[in-house]
Structure 1
Amino acid sequence: MSRQQAYVCAAAGAAMWGFLGLFVEGLYAAGFTPWQTVAIRAICSAVLITSYLALRHPRLLKIHIRDLPYFIGTGIISIVFFNWCYFTVMQEASLSLAVVLLYTGPLFVTLLSRLLFKEWLTGRKVAALFLTLTGCAFTVGLLPSFDTSLSVFVILAGLGSGFFYALYSIFGKFVSRRYSSMTITAYSFICASAFMIPAGGLINQAGELVDPAVLLYGFGLAFVPTVLGYILYTAGLTHIESSRASILTTIEPVVAILLGVTIFGDTLNSWQILGIILVLTSIFVISERRKSSSAQAEAGA
């Protein structure tokens, strides 16, 4: 794969993540709640990812039982609850707001990494934290005049999506040296689906689950923004620097916000647009630091 093709793959994968709202809104229209939608995504994704690995890379399905608690962390504590918070904001407010608040994840990763792994809070990290907090405050209406129509519940759910999303990186760090990212993702969804099969409340709507439209939205949710997006992004990531690939992930909120505005009728005022720009800028600030660190390491070697 050429370098140009790698960039296209990584960008396409990030763009696929941005289409998540299309399938979630379709399931909402069919009568499913955010919690049930989490169950559908977890179960369908586990089926598709496990099937793909079993056919193409069966060795990646081998793990040690002692590592199962970490996959429970990435699957149940992170994936289940970050999706529920994310889908809840999408239902109660808008897709645009949900995806911006989800991108508070790097803020929580930075803070948790400082507490758990004693990673330094550099000047760039502090600047990125400031940009994220300020951007989110503008987006939800707390700035410039503390005039927001959002409930405390919606704001907390939005921040919760970023927090639980960050926990995926924290739990995953403990096993990232022993397993490929594909293995971690597969077992995260396996654990999430094992939890959501009894807890997801789908039994009450078993009849609707066999509806062709619901099946299309369910497996579309699992395939396009989950399996396909992940495979494309990972394929590109193997041929380009992780810092550059992480910058490409900003395509996800851009795509999601465009969908929200053009298809679902989300409206954004000038202050919210400023907030979105600040949040996206914080990602570039963090990524540039990673790029510099990688260059220094290579020079030292």
Structure 2
Amino acid sequence: MMMSRTVKGYLFSILSAVVFGSLPAIAKLIYAEGLNPLSLVFFRNALAVPVLFGILRWKKISLRLTRRQAVQLCPIGLLCGLITPGLLFLSYVYISSGMATTIHFSYPVFVLLGCALFFRDRITPVRALCVLSCTAGILLFYTPGESANLFGMAIAFISGITYAAYIIALYRSCLQEISPFLFSFYMCLESAVLLLAGLLLAGQFTLPETALGWFATLGLAVAASIVGVVLFQIGVSLIGPQNASILSTFEPITSITLGVLIYREPFGLKTALGAGLILLAVTLLSLAEKRKGSPVAES
């Protein structure tokens, strides 16, 4: 019996969330092996390019893009391939991976706020309440007197905003007409070239110092730039960004669980309340918008 379009969308969205939720634990391991955050973002993209090229050749997918697709891919690819992961990976240095991922996960709120701002989507009482809940949850993560804590939170917060911009732009663009593998190929290629040039000019390019570091870096590159991105794109195309956002609650849950189990990261009552408020806000907001059938919720 074949799976329905909706079931496939749910499955792909959940798997994508689990993949992305596992990245912080892998990234912390890689940092210990000599790589800095931006160099890791470079390798995440660069190592994925030949793999994606092989997949495109195997599936006989043309590398050609229309002029309109190429113009839209440049900024959208940078948002997803360079800016968002660069900010998020940097935040892991300053705060726990679970906290960083949960703050980043506030992006569905920004998806809806962005639609309200740019597409005249009305701000309802439910939206306002969920925004307040999400804000309160983030504030609970802050520890007074710890500047590193505040800086890491700010970076993770901005990464959520940039990821929301990517989702809105992708959903409203013509890029859904092309293969997810083709989008990922050009996204990784563009981001890798620009980031390598910047790192070399700044003298900040580093390499993994051990075989374990190289192996973990390759694994993260494949998981983040190929598996996670492609699964999420397929999920969005099948069930819409709102449904995909609901199922993305598996991402911070996975990250928090692995952080506690592997790195013994603290997870007390205050942190649990903060995470709970953010996840509650995202879920309630997504469900409310789905029932109303708003533009961002349509599949």
Q: Give the TM-score of the pair, scaled to structure 1.
A: 0.82
CA distance in 1, matches of 2:219, 2:207: 16
Q: 1:239 to 1:66 in 2, by over 3 A?
A: closer
Match of 2:263 in 1: 264
CA pair 204-54 structure 1, distance change in 2 beyond 3 A: farther
- Structure 2 vs 1, CA of residues 289 and 62 (structure 1 numbering), >3 Å: closer, same or farther? farther
**Does the alignment pair 1:58 with 2:58?**
no
2-structure distance, mates of 1:11, 1:108: 20
From 30, 44, 48, the counterpart of 2:33 = 30
Q: What is the match of residue 197 of structure 2?
A: 198
Question: Which among 157, 162, 165 is matched to residue 155 of structure 2?
Answer: 157
Structure 1 partner of 2:274? 275
1:140 aligns with 2:142: yes
Determine the structure 1 residue equivalent to 2:245: 246
Structure 1 gap segments, 5+ residues each? 142-146, 297-301
Partner of 2:114: 112
Partner SS, residue 108 of structure 1: helix
Offset of residue 39 of structure 1: 1.0
Partners of 1:246 and 1:232 in 2: CA distance: 13
Residues in 2 aligned to 1:169 and 1:243: alpha-carbon distance in whole angstroms: 10
* Cα offsets for 1:207-235 (capped at 9, x unmatched): 94595323312220122244223444555
* Structure 1 match to 2:82: 80
Secondary structure in structure 2 of the residue aligned to 1:92: coil
Gaps of 5+ in 2: none
**Deviation string for 1:252-283 (max 9, x for gaps)?**
11000111111112102211101101111122
Q: CA deviation at 1:82?
A: 1.6
Paired with 1:268 and 1:259, the residues of 2 have a C-alpha distance of 12
Structure 1 286/185 Cα, relative in aligned 2: closer, same or farther at 3 Å? Answer: farther
Aligned counterparts of 1:69 and 1:239: Cα–Cα separation in 2: 25
- Residue 221 of structure 2 is matched in structure 1 by 222
Shift of 1:139: 2.1
Q: Distance in 1 between matches of 2:127 and 2:145?
A: 28
Aligned length: 290
Once residues 66 and 272 of structure 1 are traced to their aligned partners in structure 2, the CA distance between those partners, rounded to angstroms, is: 45
Cα pair 1:79 1:164 within 8 Å, conserved: no
Maintained 8 Å contact 2:109/2:285: no
1:38 deviates by 1.2
Contact residue 128 and residue 283 of structure 1 kept, 8 A: yes
Counterpart amino acid of residue 268 in structure 2: N
Q: Is the 8 A contact 1:135 1:278 kept in 2?
A: yes
Change (3 A) 1:114 1:57: farther
Counterpart Cα distance in 2 of 1:72 and 1:28: 29
Matched residue type, 1:46: V
SS of the aligned residue for 2:130 comes to: helix
Deviation at 1:48, TM superposition (A): 2.8
Give the aligned residue type for 1:140. Answer: Y
Cross-structure match for 1:2 = 3
Of stretches 179-188 and 74-83 in structure 1, the one that deviates more from structure 2 is: 179-188
Equivalent residues of 2:78, 2:191 under 8 A apart:
yes
Conservation of the 8 A alpha-carbon contact between 2:90 and 2:155? yes
Query: What is the one-letter code of the residue matched to 1:149?
Result: E
If the length of structure 2 is used for normalisation, what is the TM-score? 0.83
Aligned AA for 1:38?
V
Alpha-carbon distance between aligned partners in 2 of 1:252 and 1:44, rounded to the nearest angstrom: 23
Q: What SS is found at the alignment partner of 2:121?
A: coil
Q: 1:239, CA displacement in angstroms?
A: 6.0
CA distance in 2 between partners of 1:198 and 1:41 (Å): 15
One-letter code aligned to 2:41: V
Matching residue's letter, 1:121: I
| 2:164 equivalent among 163, 166, 185 | 166
1:200/1:40 Cα in 2 relative to 1: closer, same or farther (>3 Å)? Answer: farther
CA separation of 1:218 and 1:52: change in aligned 2, threshold 3 A: same
Question: Hey, what does 1:299 align to over in structure 2?
Answer: none
Identity %: 21
Q: Distance in 1 between matches of 2:51 and 2:38?
A: 20
Contact 2:39 2:206 in 1 (8 A): no
Matching residue of 1:189? 188
| More off after superposition, 121-130 vs 18-27 | 121-130
Q: Indicate the residue corresponding to 2:98 in structure 1.
A: 96
Cα deviation, 1:42-72, whole Å, max 9, x if unaligned, reads: 222333334323322514x432234434322
* 1:113 counterpart letter in structure 2: C
